[in-house]
Amino acid sequence: MKVAILAGGLGTRLSEETVVKPKPMVEVGEQPILWHIMKHYSHFGLKDFVIALGYKGEYIKRYFMDYYHLSTNLTIDLSQGSVTPQQIERDDWRISLVDTGTTTNTGGRVKRLQSWLGEETFMLTYGDGISDLNLNDLLRFHRAQGRIATITAVRPPARFGGIVFDGDLVAQFAEKPQIGEGWINGGFMVLEPEIFQYLKDDEANLEAHALERLANERQLAAYRHDGFWQCMDTLRDKRVLDSLWDSGNPPWKLWEG
């Protein structure tokens, strides 16, 4: 099964980083958040990626062109002009990098991937959110529902700590509770090829022109995920993710190594 990733947006709310690179290439730890997303899918055996490029897409192309040599030990023989990788283990991913335009809307980007995704069920997510979601469970849920599309519903972490009262006194501060906020679309979607019928052109918005129509037609299922989920929308979000990664036990890291 192929995995499509939307990686072409401007990322204006993270302009401190995205002035020089696309948002999916902003690093968490020492690797782009896009890499973390792909490692997550790969952990569940999903290794055939179709990435929709847009703003500064050449940055993503260069990253993957250099990925193998930059992530392994090398022996360089200047007299022979040879470069020999010394690390055998590598990611066995297949990656299609598709230019979908700099101003194309989300639905338009998906539409432009149609010929790359074929006529089979595929997965789709955004290039700025990570989770500990069990993708096998998500796929089983989608198939059981028998609908055109399934989104993953998540509760975003609260941005501020909460206050616990004891009458008129403050009993304690609750640090950033992940409760009390509504469910949102957290990405990690499973889609049938019929989705392309809802996307006309580059102006199509995935949420407004496809998902909302599917909901009205009772063709949109929602898989509720109560575990970890975090997007990287602002510099504050990046710092939270960096801190979790530096802790040595980031909740989204399901893979070994």
Residue type at position 4: A
Comparing 59 with 174, the larger pLDDT belongs to 59
Which of the pair, 49 or 30, is modelled with greater confidence? 49
User: Where does 2-73+81-151+183-246 sit in CATH, by number?
Assistant: 3.90.550.10
What pTM value is reported for the model? 0.88
Per-residue confidence (pLDDT) for residue 210, from 0 to 100: 95
d(Cα 124, Cα 135) in Å, to the nearest integer?
Answer: 12
Tens digit of each residue's pLDDT (9 = 90 or more) over 185-234: 999 999 999 999 999 999 999 999 999 999 999 999 999 999 999 999 89
Tell me how far apart the alpha carbons of residues 178 and 187 are, in angstroms, rounded to a whole number. 18
The pLDDT, as a whole number, for residue 16 is: 78
* Other CB atoms within 10 Å distance of the CB of residue 235: 14
| Predicted pLDDT of residue 90 | 76
Mean pLDDT of the chain: 90
User: pLDDT, tens digit, for every residue of 123-168?
Assistant: 999 999 999 999 999 999 999 999 999 999 998 876 656 656 767 6
What per-residue confidence (pLDDT) applies to 162? 65
pLDDT of residue 169: 57
What mean pLDDT comes out for the span 23-46?
96
Judged against a pLDDT cut of 60, whether residue 31 lies above it is answered with yes
